[in-house]
Amino acid sequence: MCRVPGPELSLPAAAQRPAEYGHDALVVCDNLVRIYQTEAVEVQALQGLDLLVHTGEMVAIVGASGSGKSTLLQVLAGVDAPTAGRARVAGHDLLAMSRADRVRYRRHVVGFVRQQTSRNLVPYLTASQVVDLPMTLAGVPRKERRERAGRLLEAVGVAHCADRRPNQMSGGEQQRVAICVALANDPRVLLADEPTGELDSETAREVFTALRTANRDLGATVVVVTHDTAVSGQVERTVAIRDGRTSSEVVRRLNPDVDGEHHAEEYAVMDRAGRVQVPREYREALDLTRRVRLSLEADHVSVRKDGGESSR
């Protein structure tokens, strides 16, 4: 077959500059900082966090309590404003949004599910009514609202709750309805902050299945904060946050050699200054302490215990 020169050959010089960090990602956090100022102390909840999420992904965020997970989600949800750095979701710059932009952003671009089941719903509204609400605010015609609410409740297995109020539903049903509320206006990104945190493992599985449905069938890119290893074990990518920064990532791929087997590869995240965190198990296994010996090999970098020829 004859090859026709591609259009890339005639691109102007400007287009050939190195692309901006995360230019093709749906969610971009670049050196993100959030400092909470209280009377006497300053808390750096996010200390230069980098994160990219691509369209169609489902990513789990894990990390110890206080590591900045909720702060990150609130920034991405447009509920909280970062102090410095760059945060962009579907082309919206979260550091430079007007109040009106923020309202539109929260209504159309992102959906947010909180951990506390009671905070996601309204006590006196039925499931149909509460899913209808964001669409009413967005000016969607009544017929369309009713159809979409019905479809969403059906998709996550809570159609039987349509006429029930929160106190007539189980915790898992409430969280699945909350997912429908978050999806009502067909957002690009669904954010969920420990949505299964208050649930037993069986119910948690149902909620996780609903998030999967949102991702696979309803087209939402999903970012879910979780403590639940059963959840993080099932998503393709798990990002660990430590002290307000992303520290490592586990990527699961379908192994072509072993039918249907997922195998996990662990990656460390390197920041702009080249800093990498060596996982504790690795440090302990080789007794790596303050100073280590680095050497550049043909295709890798080796890290060895200081002063020892023996350890490789």
Question: For residues 141-168, b (16+ Cβ closer than 10 Å) or e, as one string?
Answer: eeeebeebbeebbebbebeebbebbbee
Do residues 59 and 79 lie in contact, with contact meaning Cβ atoms separated by under 8 Å? Answer: no
Phi-psi region of 188 (alpha: psi -120 to 50; beta: other; left: phi over 0): alpha
Contact flags string 20-59 toward ligand ADP, x per CB under 6 A: ----------------x-x----x-x--------------
Sequence-ordered list of residues with C-beta below 8 angstroms from that of 283, at least 6 positions apart, any chain: 289
Instruction: Using the structure block, give the residue that is written with the tokens 């159309």.
Output: 108
* Binds Mg ion (CB under 5 A): choice among 31, 70, 215, 247: 70
68 binds ligand ADP (CB under 6 A): yes
Do residues 188 and 109 lie in contact, with contact meaning Cβ atoms separated by under 8 Å? Answer: yes
67 binds Mg ion (CB under 5 A): no
* Binds ligand ADP (CB under 6 A): choice among 10, 16, 65, 295: 65
Question: Helix or strand or coil: residue 266?
Answer: strand
Residue 210: count other Cβ atoms within 10 Å of its Cβ. 27
In angstroms, give the least distance from the CB of 70 to Mg ion.
Answer: 3
Specify the stretch interacting with Mg ion by CB under 5 A; choose among 69-77, 93-101, 176-184, 202-210: 69-77
Closest CA to 212 of 195, 197, 227: 195
237 binds ligand ADP (CB under 6 A): no
Closer residue to ligand ADP in complex, CB, 66/308: 66
In angstroms, give the least distance from the CB of 192 to ligand ADP.
Answer: 13
In angstroms, give the least distance from the CB of 116 to ligand ADP.
Answer: 13
Which residue number is nearest to Mg ion in terms of Cβ? 70
Q: Judged by CB under 6 A, how many residues of this single chain contact ligand ADP? A: 12
Closer residue to ligand ADP in complex, CB, 193/206: 193
* Binds ligand ADP (CB under 6 A): choice among 63, 82, 134, 166: 63
Closest CA to 153 of 111, 181, 114: 181
Closer residue to ligand ADP in complex, CB, 22/68: 68
How many Å apart are CA 119 and CA 177, to the nearest integer?
12
Sequence-ordered list of residues with C-beta below 8 angstroms from that of 90, at least 6 positions apart, any chain: 26, 109, 188, 189
246 binds Mg ion (CB under 5 A): no
Whole-number CA gyration radius for the chain: 22
Closer residue to ligand ADP in complex, CB, 74/234: 74
In angstroms, give the least distance from the CB of 118 to Mg ion.
Answer: 16
Binding site for Mg ion (CB under 5 A): 70
Binding site for ligand ADP (CB under 6 A): 36, 38, 43, 45, 63, 65-71
